[in-house]
Amino acid sequence: MKQLLAFVRKEFYHVFRDKKTLLMLFGVPIAQIVLFGFTLTNEIKNSRIVVADYAHDYASQEIIRKIEASRYFEVVKSNMSHDEIEAAFKTGTIKMAVIFPANFYNDLSHLNKAQIQVIADASDPNTATTLTSYLNNIITDYQTQKAQQTKVPYLITPEVKMLYNPELLGAPNFVPGVMALVLMLICAMMTSISIVKEKELGTMEILLVSPIRPFLLIISKVIPYLLVSIINLITILVLSVVLLHLEIKGSLLLLFLESTLFIISSLALGLLISVRAESQMAAMMTSQMSLMLPTMLLTGFMFPIENMPLPMRALSYAFPSHYYYIIVKAVMLEGLGFMAIWKETLILAFITTVLVIINLRSFKIRLA
Amino acid sequence: MRDIAIKADKLTKKFDDFVAVDAITFDVHQGEIFGFVGANGAGKTTAMRILCGLSKPTSGSATVAGFDVYKETERIKRNIGYMSQKFSLYDDLTVMENITFYAGIYGLSDKEIKARGESLLSQLGISHEAKTFVSSLPLGWKQKLAFSVAVIHEPKIVFLDEPTGGVDPVTRRQFWDLIYEAADRGITVFVTTHYMDEAEYCNRLTVMVDGRIDALDTPANLKKQFSVDSMDKVFYQLARAAKRSGD
């Protein structure tokens, strides 16, 4: 116990005396949250659009009112000709044009279907896609509203292809991803460096010659980062709530317990790299290539896993972050309880256990 | 006859076909300063690593402080101190924090750590530097401090692997004063070196060539045996026959 205390104290000195480490430990999570949070929300609000209403009837008026009421659009009402609309697009003053043809309500009430023409500035495809999907939502909304009043449902088809674009829906989906990313970054990368550093310095030999047990050595390397990671977890959650107005719907305790499990698995991964790597540089590169990138690309928070080819999908199931991402989304965004995520928790716990066992084994082999 | 601190009998270590340590046999007495001299790559460090319990021998037998190097490495570790050629203190810790850490992992109590730490610092004449970061100490001081830390738990044997690399002969001499003090307290000192002035300071020494021990005696007897007037010349006569080049 005395040994452990002496060791842990030393590790804390290492962590808290190195300004670069500190910046990385506490700056990165804040930067990530702010970066992801704000770049993703501000862009699409209050886009200028032109609405040309050739129908000027009951139905078109009602839909236009709805569009105007939306905070996404700033509506300019004007019956522009096609040439005029094109000119407006070219000068960049508008992002989208919505055109109601004549006889809109007539078509709708007699044929039960009508069309709206939507033209979007696709030079920025993401914005175009998002704007059209916003508009689609408004129209679908109108349809459902009418469907309750009439027997035969109206069918309004806007002439754009609806593309659901999960990345651009806003910050909430990113927070779980950022949590996985940041925790992985800190735990794996920093621990992987910390043991290799002792090898490079030559202090590792002294430690191996001393009567301290390998298990103790590993535990005391891990404790400071475990603590830092938990502080980071709190920072991320507070920032998400305060800055991004995200609501944590599920149990906070459950979220913390699951996060701790994930943190331990990441720490184990970092140690695994560290035991094998020969230099700090190698450890850094390995953790970046084999942990960071897969976490970013394969957990599904940037690119949907469903669209990936089978080998990639299979690979993503091997990473702890895959399960953690699902768990956090379920608990934090959907407010689900343990019963909804027990399977993922079990897999995560299994991976963690395997990693810890491999670690203890390989560290002993090193000693022989 | 004094007690035997280290006993090696035909101790051998092979890495695949390469014989790093070739059937070495020797005894080290309690309280003796025993030198391992040899060129780089002669096998000194490998032999020392076996005796410290860091590496398992391929064949032969050895005991350190009475414990077997095959089976009782954990008990060996409790009875030895170790200082390597690579630097063994933490730069980002202060002098006293380094002392506290190393004493702590050997399980000394807070009271012992405080008492021994203070006497160690006053012995080295650096009591005023207790709160200085090790990174800002001169190399000679760091080495002396590293040695004092390596024996802070009063081990039976201390292993020094080329402890004085990179410092001038005067600083080396001061370092050896510390070694003599430790030996006077009954600590056995096992030291590897390739500095011949250091070889002269040992009670007895071996010259290792190509993994074998080619000579073992006191510096005076060795000089007599080879009919030369300095350890340098003894070493050259033996090393000339070496087949391995240094690394």
What is the value of ipTM here, to two decimals?
0.84
CA distances, A278 to each of A134, A185, A205, A232 (Å) = 53, 20, 14, 29
Q: CA dihedral in degrees (A290, A291, A293, A298; nearest 10)?
A: 110
Same domain membership, residue A311 and residue A212: yes
Prediction pTM value: 0.73
Same domain membership, residue A236 and residue A288: yes
Whole-number pLDDT of residue B191: 94
Instruction: Answer whether A203 sits within 8 Å of B90, measured CB to CB.
Output: yes
Name the band, by pLDDT with cuts 50, 70 and 90, for residue A166: very low
The secondary structure element, H or E, covering residue B31 is none
Which of A210, A363, A367 would best serve as a mutation to test chain B binding (most B beta carbons within 10 A)?
A210
Same domain membership, residue A279 and residue A143: no
Domains identified in chain B, total number: 1
Instruction: Answer whether A13 sits within 8 Å of B102, measured CB to CB.
Output: no
Q: Which of A78, A155, A70, A163 is nearest to A109 (CA)?
A: A155
Q: Which of A171, A188, A161, A153 is nearest to A32 (CA)?
A: A171
Same domain membership, residue A354 and residue A302: yes
Residue A42 pLDDT greater than 80, yes or no:
no
Q: Does B31 touch chain A (CB under 8 A)?
A: no
CA B9 to chain centre: 19
Q: Does B114 touch chain A (CB under 8 A)?
A: no
Which of B83, B105, B132, B190 would best serve as a mutation to test chain A binding (most A beta carbons within 10 A)?
B105
Whole-number pLDDT of residue A106: 85
Same domain membership, residue A362 and residue A220: yes
B7 and B63 Cβ atoms separated by less than 8 Å: yes
Dihedrals phi, psi of A307, to nearest 5 degrees: -85, 0
pLDDT digits (tens, 9 = 90+) for A182-195: 888 888 888 888 88
Same domain membership, residue A53 and residue A110: yes
Whole-number pLDDT of residue A125: 67
Name the band, by pLDDT with cuts 50, 70 and 90, for residue A50: confident
Whole-number pLDDT of residue A314: 85
Q: Tokens at residue A301, please?
A: 């928070």
Give the C-alpha separation, B86 to A206, whole Å. 10
Minimal C-alpha gap between A8 and chain B (Å): 10
Quote the DSSP letter at residue A18. -
Same domain membership, residue A274 and residue A328: yes
Contacts of B174 (CB under 8 A, 6+ apart): B140, B144
pLDDT digits (tens, 9 = 90+) for B171-195: 888 999 999 999 999 999 999 988 8
Q: Does B107 touch chain A (CB under 8 A)?
A: yes
Same domain membership, residue A256 and residue A359: yes
Instruction: Answer whether B104 sits within 8 Å of A2, measured CB to CB.
Output: yes
Same domain membership, residue A87 and residue A9: no
Establish how many alpha carbons lie within 13 A of residue A23's alpha carbon, considering only the half-sphere containing its beta carbon.
Answer: 3
Same domain membership, residue A319 and residue A299: yes
Report the phi/psi class of residue A319: left, alpha or beta, with left for phi > 0 and alpha for psi in -120 to 50.
beta
| CB-CB neighbors (< 8 A) of B69 in chain A | none
A48 and A258 Cβ atoms separated by less than 8 Å: no
pLDDT digits (tens, 9 = 90+) for A111-130: 878 888 888 877 666 677 77
Domain boundary among A148, A168, A188: A168
Rounded to the nearest 10 degrees, what angle do helices A2-17 and A214-242 cross at? 50
Assigned domain for B130 exists: yes
Q: Does B90 touch chain A (CB under 8 A)?
A: yes
pLDDT digits (tens, 9 = 90+) for A21-30: 888 888 888 8
Give the C-alpha separation, B23 to B13, whole Å. 8
Q: Which of B97, B82, B231, B219 is nearest to B163 (CA)?
A: B82
Assigned domain for B54 exists: no
Write down the residue that tokens 């600590």 correspond to.
B187
Domain boundary among A150, A168, A186: A168
Instruction: Answer whether B74 sits within 8 Å of A207, measured CB to CB.
Output: no
Find the domain containing A61 and state its range: 43-168
Determine how many CB atoms are found less than 10 A away from the CB of residue A20.
7
Domains identified in chain A, total number: 2
Instruction: Answer whether B84 sits within 8 Å of A368, measured CB to CB.
Output: no
pLDDT digits (tens, 9 = 90+) for A195-235: 888 888 888 888 888 888 878 888 888 888 888 888 888 98
Give the C-alpha separation, A281 to A269, whole Å. 17
Assigned domain for B162 exists: no
- Please tell me whether residue B92 adopts helix, strand or coil conformation: coil
Residue of A nearest to B108 (CA): A2
Residue ranges in chain B whose pLDDT is less than 50: 1, 246-247
Domain boundary among A123, A148, A168: A168
